[in-house]
Chains A and B, each alone.
Chain A
Amino acid sequence: MATAVHVMEGLGGGPLSSLGRLLSSVGTDSGTSPAVDALERRAVSAVKSGDANAYDYLVFKYMKRVVSIAWGIVRNPDDAEDLAQEAFVKAYQTMGRFNADQPFGPWIYRIVTNLALDVVKHRRRFQQQALSESQQAPRRDTADLQASSNELAGRIDEAINSLPVMQQLVARLYLVEQFDHAEIAGMTGLSEGTIRSHLSLARRKLKDQLSDLYGADHE
């Protein structure tokens, strides 16, 4: 956090009191206010000009969301952390191609989504070649869920996990990460129509599995 403050001072971000309010939202990707967008734009421009320290602002702002997205796909906390690091490093290395007037979020989310999908693809290939079903490592992903042992969350998680790969990905990005159709399309490279189609199929299956939880209201 101290580093982020230093970064903001370096960017001429103004008095620390107002910066304190901004920094309290750093890491939660709440950048919808014009002030935050301007800071982000300045951070991006500074990084593009060669100021590596300015990148800290973007890392602090988006890291939690990036890790969450990665975890949702690979379902392993260590892999998710590694992927998050890789995504930020890759984004930094290709910053020259990034337009500073665009929000940084969708771009880093797309990078981490693609990296995570590559890991999943690689895992599937490896599992098909080398492992039988009885030898698969037991799932530990549900144990990593943040203190949310209630039945509802667990059932929703289980229901999403039972979906086919692409429906699972899209459903998780929509339901858990709460991106909209356009954002998911940008992250996955799929068209909005395809996203809606996946969600429609996922919704039908989830309704079958969760009808008892949302029970009497189902009409």
Chain B
Amino acid sequence: MNDDRFFERVRNDAGQLRYEPDDDVMWSRLAARVRERVQLAPRPTVAELLAGWLRPLAASVAALMVFTALAAGYVAQNSRDSSAAAIDSISASADFNTTIDDVYGFAE
């Protein structure tokens, strides 16, 4: 007998190993317990259903706001750095006296 045939025979014989007690009282008791627990299970209220919908939506909005705030902060920081760098470069490239003359020269 090859392996497949062996396994098929074992499968045929193993079916009787199922646990299926011939006990109607037991099956009825189990079904009754399930029914009892299922009947007692609280049904969700409208508020709970809405919360179920809105919770993930609120989480997404919050995440988006955090991201936006961080991004805005990053952009603002970059802008300040650029302006400061520009001012520094203008001051560094200009002669100070020349600058004074430029400012006060016309007034003389």
Total contacts A-B at CB 8 Å: 112
Q: Mark B1-37, 1 if CB is under 8 A from A, else 0.
A: 1110111011101111111111000110011011101
* B39 contacts partner chain A, Cβ-Cβ < 8 Å: yes
Known: A85-B37, A89-B37, A93-B41. A148 touches B17 (CB 8 A): yes
Known: A56-B35, A85-B37. A214 touches B6 (CB 8 A): yes
Specify the main secondary structure of chain B where it touches its partner. helix
Q: Mark A11-42, 1 if CB is under 8 A from B, else 0.
A: 00000000000000001000000000000000
Task: For B18, give its contact among A52, A56, A146 (CB under 8 Å).
Answer: A146
Using a CB-CB cutoff of 8 Å, which residues 44-82 of chain A contact chain B? 50, 52, 55-56, 59-60, 63-64, 67-68, 71-72, 77, 80-81
Q: Give the chain B neighbours of A81 by CB distance below 8 A.
A: 26, 30
Interface size of A in residues (CB-CB distance below 8 Å)? 48
* B19 x A72 contact (CB < 8 A): yes
Task: For A176, give its contact among B14, B30, B34 (CB under 8 Å).
Answer: B14
* A218 x B38 contact (CB < 8 A): no
Distance of A157 Cα from B14 Cα, bound (Å): 8
* B43 contacts partner chain A, Cβ-Cβ < 8 Å: yes
Distance of A153 Cα from B13 Cα, bound (Å): 7
* A59 x B34 contact (CB < 8 A): yes
Min CB gap B18→A, angstroms: 5
Known: A80-B19, A81-B26, A153-B16. A175 touches B31 (CB 8 A): no
What residue in chain B is nearest A81 (Cβ atoms)?
B30
* A109 contacts partner chain B, Cβ-Cβ < 8 Å: no
Interface size of B in residues (CB-CB distance below 8 Å)? 31
Task: For B30, give its contact among A67, A71, A152 (CB under 8 Å).
Answer: A67
Distance of A217 Cα from B14 Cα, bound (Å): 18
* A71 x B19 contact (CB < 8 A): yes
* A146 x B13 contact (CB < 8 A): no
* A176 x B43 contact (CB < 8 A): no
Q: Give the chain B neighbours of A160 by CB distance below 8 A.
A: 14, 17
- Top 10 nearest A-B pairs by Cβ distance? A71-B19, A175-B14, A217-B1, A88-B34, A176-B17, A68-B18, A68-B19, A176-B14, A148-B16, A92-B38
Point out residues on A near B: beta carbons under 8 Å: 3, 27, 50, 52, 55-56, 59-60, 63-64, 67-68, 71-72, 77, 80-81, 84-85, 88-89, 92-93, 144-148, 152-153, 156-157, 160, 174-178, 199, 203-204, 206-207, 210, 214, 217-219
Query: Known contacts A88-B34, A217-B5; can you find 16 more A-B pairs with CB under 8 A?
Result: A52-B35, A55-B34, A63-B31, A64-B27, A67-B19, A77-B19, A89-B41, A92-B34, A92-B41, A144-B19, A144-B21, A146-B18, A156-B13, A157-B17, A175-B14, A176-B14
